[in-house]
């Protein structure tokens, strides 16, 4: 199971593995009970764990960094119901968290998610983007000859044809008779009073 396929779904507890996405939702597998189901995108929103960032006193960090710090720590995971214990734990494990903006509910989620990821043996790491281009050495750069661009003749011919066509249209226009103007509407005749 890959970390980049793990998602959190709004309104649903726990973490899910993204099996297949569709235009109107996704097919997911729960990491807690292994059940597979369809989740509608009209009701729920999906968040990949690799795209979640956590507030710190400096720049925001990716959730992976916090989870790795929690995993490598010697501290025992605190009880999820004790908010004070959660704050103390994270002050020891990841001191840079901004506790004014990271709520206790977020701390609870991180503890639960780490336990679920460990249980399912998911390796916590970001996927490195593959580099398609190979670096060019300076010697290779010098051997390439610059390519001279030839002026394009085809567009000039097309422009000339357009100008000729425009002149022909101008010549034809004076021969056409101007369109008649619409006649003004006449007011309905006044009724004569019968005196």
pLDDT digits (tens, 9 = 90+) for 37-63: 999 999 999 999 999 999 999 999 999
Q: Determine the CATH number of domain 52-125.
A: 1.10.10.1650
Task: Tell me the pairing of strands 53-54 and 46-48.
Answer: unpaired
As a whole number, mean pLDDT of residues 127-135 equals: 60
Q: What's the CA gap between 28 and 12, in Å, rounded?
A: 12
Assessment of whether the complete model's pTM goes beyond 0.75: no
Q: How far is CA 192 from CA 108, 144, 155, 185, 187, in A?
A: 90, 98, 72, 21, 15
Residue carrying the six token digits 């101007």: 178
Q: Are 6 and 117 contacting, i.e. CB atoms less than 8 angstroms apart?
A: yes
- Residue 17 β-bridge partners: 6, 29
Nearest to 3 by CA among 25, 13, 18: 18
Higher pLDDT, 1 or 94: 94
Residue 194 confidence class, pLDDT cut points 50, 70, 90 = low
Write down the pLDDT at residue 26.
96
As a whole number, mean pLDDT of residues 182-195 equals: 64
What integer best gives the mean pLDDT of the chain? 80
Whether residue 12 is predicted with pLDDT greater than 60 in this model: the reply is: yes
Structural domain spans, the chain: 1-51, 52-125
Nearest to 26 by CA among 17, 34, 35: 17
Q: Please name the CATH architecture into which domain 1-51 falls.
A: Roll (2.30)
Write down the pLDDT at residue 80.
86
């Amino acid at each position: 199971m890959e970390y980049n396929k793990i998602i959190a779904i709004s309104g649903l507890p726990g973490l899910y593995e993204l099996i297949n996405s569709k235009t109107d939702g996704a097919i997911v597998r729960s990491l807690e009970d292994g059940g597979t189901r369809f989740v509608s995108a009209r009701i729920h929103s999906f968040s990949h764990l690799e795209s979640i960032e956590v507030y710190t006193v400096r720049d925001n960090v990716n959730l992976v960094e916090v989870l790795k710090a929690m995993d490598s720590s010697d501290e025992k995971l605190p009880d999820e119901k004790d908010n004070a214990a959660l704050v103390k734990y994270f002050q020891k494990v990841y001191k840079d968290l901004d506790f004014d903006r990271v709520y206790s509910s977020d701390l609870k989620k991180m503890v639960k998610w780490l336990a679920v990821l460990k249980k399912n043996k998911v390796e916590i790491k970001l996927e490195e983007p593959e580099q398609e281009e190979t670096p060019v050495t300076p010697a290779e750069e010098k051997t390439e000859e610059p390519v001279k661009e030839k002026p394009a003749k085809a567009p000039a011919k097309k422009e000339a044809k357009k100008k000729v066509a425009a002149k022909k249209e101008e010549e034809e226009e004076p021969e056409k008779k101007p369109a008649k103007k619409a006649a003004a509407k006449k007011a309905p005749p006044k009724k004569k009073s019968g005196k």
